[in-house]
Chain A
Amino acid sequence: MASRSWGRDAVLTWDQFSRIAFDGGVITVSVFVMAAVLGTVLSLLFGIMGLSESRLFRGISRIYVEVARGASAIVLVFFAAFAAPRFIGFRTSDVSVTLFGIDVGWVFIAGAVALGINMGGYGAEVVRGGIKSIPRGQTEASISLSLTNGQRLRYVILPQAVMTMLPPYGNLNIEVMKGTALVSLIGVADMTFFARDLFNRRNFLENGPSLVVIWGTALVLYFIVSQAIAAFYRWQERRFGGRWFGGRL
């Protein structure tokens, strides 16, 4: 009764679907949010550091950016999940991590942190580019008004830079979200994990769903989330760009 990958039932049962979309979806979104928050903090930190007058700070920023980008996301994820605990000195079984009542384990943290670090490498360049794009005159006016460097960054430069940074930053967010699929490989129960699980089990099911249906569903779910993020950033761009530029963008 071995069956081929084609044919079979055209639809997923509600249980099957909700497992992938909701049980998995919650984890996918949680990993994404954690990674995005960490990534944003690191982007700002190392992005601003990369513009420092101190060669030391610029150097540190450069090293971080090159390593965080150069080691691919998947390499970082595997390293964080399996090698890092040993470097730091704890056993992964000693650590218990629960999220919304689900026991997700160290791999969840490892995956999110690794993705966040990876994102920071790319984000730092976005931040640096955005700040650099602000005309010198703004800095000079700030000096003329006796603002400190910190005040200048906070009240004059960053608010303007955000506008330039939003499009590439939105794209980066989408890449990170797609990257969350990687954590399924280290054992985190996200959408990809459940889809794969269902696919592996389908041979043992009566009227199991076909390959196309399972993966098609997964792909569509990721597609929807991508588009949602893209729409969010388009909305933010409209909000920010409105009145400053006299109503036109």
Chain B
Amino acid sequence: MDSNVPSDALRVEAHADTMVRMRKINKIFGENHVLRDLDLDVAPAEKVVIIGPSGSGKTTILRVIMTLERPNSGSVEIDGRHLYHEPKGGGLVDAREAHVREVRTDISMVFQHFNLFPHMTALDNITLAPVKVLGLTSEEANDRGTELLRMVGLADKSGHYPAELSGGQKQRVAIARSLAMRPKVMLFDEVTSALDPELVGEVLAVLKDIASQGTTTMMLVTHEMGFAREAADRVLMFDRGQVLEEGTPEQLLREPEHERTRSFLKAVLQH
């Protein structure tokens, strides 16, 4: 992994003081009130790790930001712009699809199961969206893609199909694919949970690279406490749809206040 490469790809600009601002977010699935009146602020270039038991809503939070789930109520602002609402006549109304799509271009997500396009090579996976959405020429997109593949250590795999790659390699391609869109906010949903243990390290190394070199705001749901300790600015403990506790990695992981956090950490760290 080439850590000394100037990472233009990782420099994004922020306009507002808060990159992600969520207010009173509620999400209900049938009988299940998964997110309850949630408030959350993430600063530009901040690296936030979210931990918590399953069902606590931590994945849902990411999905709401990525618009894969629509909140029942509440608002989300990305870099000062409302995602689900738009200004009209002095107030706010529900946004049209076109508006949501527009604000959404600043957000990208990496998934637990990679979701690479199996019918395209690694390079094509990475260049599809830059060409079709950002309007890059194929040469520009290929250059960007090749550089990103080099950054994640897969320069020689550009012509390979996902079926020919290992899990760790697939996930690194998926990360490069999201990075190619130069998002302001990158969301990582348990990106190492589906990997064999020996492949986890290579993906974490890439994540640490991005964290240390770039100004991309990162939100990660993960069980990898080691990573949290090394790379996170803040750790949030989720429970039953709300932020139970938060703090720097040292504070939260070493001396959690709540019993629930303590018992959760104990269970996870025994893994």
Contacts and interface: CB of A to CB of B under 8 A. Distances in A.
A146 B164 contact: no
Contacts of B104: 143, 146
A147 B132 contact: yes
Nearest to A137: B115
Interface in A142-177: 143-148, 151, 155-156, 159-160
A245 B163 contact: yes
Interface string B46-78: 000000000000000000001110000000000
A146 B129 contact: yes
Interface in A106-143: 135, 137-138, 140-141, 143
A145 B118 contact: no
Nearest to B164: A246
A138 B128 CA distance: 13
Given A138-B115, A244-B119, A148 B101 contact: yes
Most buried by A among B66, B101, B109, B115: B115
Interface in B99-117: 101, 104-105, 107-111, 113-117
Contacts of A148: 101, 133
A195 to B, nearest CB: 44
Nearest to A240: B119
Nearest to B116: A141
A225 B223 CA distance: 59
A244 B66 contact: no
A137 B113 contact: yes
B234 interface: no
A54 to B, nearest CB: 13
A138 B133 CA distance: 17
A118 B105 CA distance: 42
A240 to B, nearest CB: 9
Contact of A144 (B108, B117, B128, B164): B108
Contacts of A244: 118-119, 161, 163
Nearest to B134: A146
A243 interface: yes
Contacts of B117: 138, 141, 155-156, 160
Chain A's interface size range is 20 to 34
Contacts, number: 70
Contacts of A146: 101, 104-105, 108, 129, 133, 181
Contacts of A246: 161, 163-164
Contacts of A147: 128-129, 132-133
Contact of B128 (A135, A155, A160): A155
A155 B114 CA distance: 18
Given A243-B161, A244-B161, A143 B67 contact: yes
A149 to B, nearest CB: 9
A140 B117 CA distance: 11
Given A160-B119, A244-B161, A244-B163, A140 B68 contact: yes
A145 B124 CA distance: 13
Contacts of A156: 117, 128
B63 to A, nearest CB: 9
B18 to A, nearest CB: 22
A148 B129 CA distance: 10
Nearest to A245: B163
B112 to A, nearest CB: 9
Contacts of A141: 111, 115-117, 174
A214 B222 CA distance: 74
Nearest to B180: A145
Nearest to A162: B119
A155 B116 CA distance: 13
Nearest to B165: A246
Given A155-B128, A244-B119, A144 B161 contact: no
Contacts of B133: 145-148, 151
B216 interface: no
A239 B178 CA distance: 30
A246 B166 CA distance: 12
Contact of A143 (B66, B113, B114, B118): B66
B172 interface: no
B82 interface: no
7 contacts: A135-B115, A144-B107, A144-B109, A146-B133, A151-B133, A155-B117, A156-B128
Closest 4 CB pairs of A and B: A246-B163, A141-B115, A137-B115, A145-B129
Interface of A: 135, 137-138, 140-141, 143-148, 151, 155-156, 159-160, 243-246
Given A147-B133, A160-B119, A244-B163, 5 more contacts: A145-B108, A145-B129, A145-B177, A146-B101, A146-B133
